[in-house]
Amino acid sequence: MVLTKETGFIDHEKIYEYLANTKPPERSEVEEILSHARELKGISFEETEKLLLVEDDELLEEIFKTANYIKNEIYGKRLVLFAPLYVSNLCNNDCVYCGFRVSNRKLKRATLTIEQVKEEIKSLVSQGHKRVLLVSGEGLGESALDYTIKCIEAIYSTKVGNGEIRRINVNIAPLSVEGFKRLKEAKIGTYQLFQETYHYPTYKKVHPRGPKSDYLYHLTAMDRAFKAGIDDVGVGILFGLYDYKFEILALLQHIRHLEKEFGLGPHTISVPRIEPADGAPLSYEPPYPVSDKEFKKIIALLRITVPYTGIILSTRETPEMRREAFSLGVSQISAGSRTNPGGYSSKDAGEQFSLGDHRTIDEVIYDVCKLGYIPSFCTGCYRLGRTGLDFMDLAKPGLIKLYCLPNAITTFKEYLVDYASAETREIGNKLIANMINEIPHEKIREKTVKYLQRIEKGERDLYF
Ligand code: SAM
Ligand code: SF4
């Protein structure tokens, strides 16, 4: 495909035309699409485009129920947990929604030393975390990649008691193909980058200066990551900047482009909504706020359209919204997060935005268990090389339950033995006893029970 100079493969005219000229679908059509969705193979993007126009409350309820069915059939009751690790809030960009923007002179700036990174990791591991998302502003210039790689090496090599970080996902400024190759060699999990908005005029307005103001370079980051051999990439939209319907239609174009060029779509989709950030006036009054109802519709539609793609929800959202979102299809959540560099080992650099969920990881886990979900710290697929297309092959109905559920159970057991409060341990052990019966294969069920006994005796990191 030939990229146009400004907007690349995002066909703005086509989206404008669709939104201006298409009526919401009739009930019968919605029902037909939803019954197709229940076959668990995903629906066509044309079908998603139709569902996106549904506004009727009763039909929306049907969409939510279908998303819930798909989520249960494919993922069961498992929820993967992670924590973001902010290593630097220096930034040369001026994204008008972000507290780290260069023109925010009041923000206390910091870049962690490698020793400080290790302190942060000690704190996170001591809380029970096994997966981190390394996040950084774009202010380190030429040394940024070397620094990131040193951080990754320090994180993987920091062991605390029985625990360590076993997977590092990365959300940093886009790189060249060569840069991405180095990131891959450092053994990252997923490379994440949010387009923020696919709408070119809005993108230019909210990214007035700095390297990030180049829409096309940002948009084509995942192409370069794939070319460099990174096969798990995570995309995202910052909801509130522009019309969510435009954004979803453009996201579908992005996914279609990646599938066509590389045979594979994104591994995860993140759905942040703008949160208030000191020094970023737009964040207090986003131009296109997304209501809770619309937000639920977005999550449900993504779950229905790409059933095997992870959906990530952060602590930007309140506990109430997070609970609802689990049932609609969210598969990964952050917990106990801090968005300021050094925040876990109590340094006081400025935060990126304020959080909606301030609970500790143990409080989140207790709540998740009470809702009947099993927290997972699994890093098995990535470490066994089940990434990219291999992961997608595994992610057929039933197979996630076969591997991911036992791995959720064993990693959660480690958490319960090593880190949990008495209340969480009690509710968690009961949950595990019930969940074991849901493992569909007898041999794997028996092996999981044996793994649990070995974990009780002190062994760690047992997985399928
Ligand atoms: N600097 C890199 C970048 O901008 O892509 C990566 C890190 S940036 C800290 C991570 C994400 O935070 C951004 O992609 C943006 O979507 C999100 N973010 C920025 N300001 C936010 C706000 N006020 N509320 C919610 N999310 C925000
Ligand atoms: Fe910098 Fe990223 Fe914040 Fe933009 S969103 S100001 S690039 S940290």
The DSSP secondary structure of 420-442, one letter per residue, reads --HHHHHHHHHHHHHHHTT-S-H
Cβ atoms of 69 and 97 closer than 8 Å: no
Residues contacting ligand 2 via CB (< 6 Å): 91, 93, 95, 98, 100-101, 137-138, 212
Cβ atoms of 311 and 303 closer than 8 Å: yes
- Going from the Cα of 89 to the center of ligand 1, the distance in angstroms, rounded, reads 11
Choose one of 169, 191, 194, 354 to mutate for the ligand 1 pocket test, by most ligand atoms within 8 angstroms of C-beta: 194
Count other Cβ atoms within 10 Å, centred on residue 220: 17
Choose one of 170, 238, 241, 242 to mutate for the ligand 1 pocket test, by most ligand atoms within 8 angstroms of C-beta: 238
Q: What is the mean pLDDT of residues 121-145?
A: 96
Task: Give 441's pLDDT tier (boundaries 50, 70, 90).
Answer: confident
- 111 DSSP β-pair partners: 88
pLDDT digits (tens, 9 = 90+) for 222-231: 999 999 999 9
pLDDT digits (tens, 9 = 90+) for 305-351: 999 899 999 877 888 888 899 999 999 998 888 888 999 987 566 77
Q: What is the mean pLDDT of residues 350-377?
A: 86
**CA-to-CA distance for 216 and 219, rounded, in angstroms?**
5
pLDDT digits (tens, 9 = 90+) for 388-418: 777 666 666 666 777 889 999 999 999 999 9
**CA-to-CA distance for 202 and 195, rounded, in angstroms?**
12
Task: Give 217's pLDDT tier (boundaries 50, 70, 90).
Answer: very high
- Going from the Cα of 98 to the center of ligand 1, the distance in angstroms, rounded, reads 6
The structure's pTM equals: 0.95
What is the residue type of 356? G
Atom 21, ligand 1: which residue's CA is nearest?
Answer: 98
Task: Give 211's pLDDT tier (boundaries 50, 70, 90).
Answer: very high
User: Looking at per-residue confidence, does 423 or 403 come out higher?
Assistant: 423
Q: What is the mean pLDDT of residues 245-270?
A: 96
Task: Give 135's pLDDT tier (boundaries 50, 70, 90).
Answer: very high
pLDDT of residue 347: 59
pLDDT of residue 2: 46
- Going from the Cα of 430 to the center of ligand 1, the distance in angstroms, rounded, reads 38
Atom 4, ligand 2: which residue's CA is nearest?
Answer: 95
Token pair, residue 120, equals: 């942060």
What is the residue type of 234? G
pLDDT digits (tens, 9 = 90+) for 27-46: 999 999 999 999 988 899 89
Q: What is the mean pLDDT of residues 286-313?
A: 95
User: Looking at per-residue confidence, does 381 or 328 come out higher?
Assistant: 328
pLDDT of residue 35: 97
pLDDT of residue 225: 98
Cα-to-chain-centroid distance, residue 130? 15
Atom 2, ligand 2: which residue's CA is nearest?
Answer: 137
Task: Give 121's pLDDT tier (boundaries 50, 70, 90).
Answer: very high
pLDDT of residue 345: 86
Crossing angle, helix 114-127 and helix 144-156, to 10 degrees? 40
- 371 DSSP β-pair partners: none
Cβ atoms of 362 and 424 closer than 8 Å: yes
Q: What is the dihedral of CA 340, 342, 343, 345, to 10 degrees?
A: 180
pLDDT of residue 381: 75
pLDDT of residue 354: 67
pLDDT of residue 423 exceeding 70 = yes
Domain 72-358 belongs to what topology?
TIM Barrel (3.20.20)
**Mean pLDDT, the chain, as a whole number?**
93
| Domains in the chain: boundaries | 72-358, 399-456
| Residues near 260 by beta carbon (within 8 Å), at least 6 away in sequence | 1
Q: What is the mean pLDDT of residues 160-174?
A: 96
pLDDT of residue 3 exceeding 60 = no
Atom 6, ligand 2: which residue's CA is nearest?
Answer: 101
pLDDT of residue 353: 66
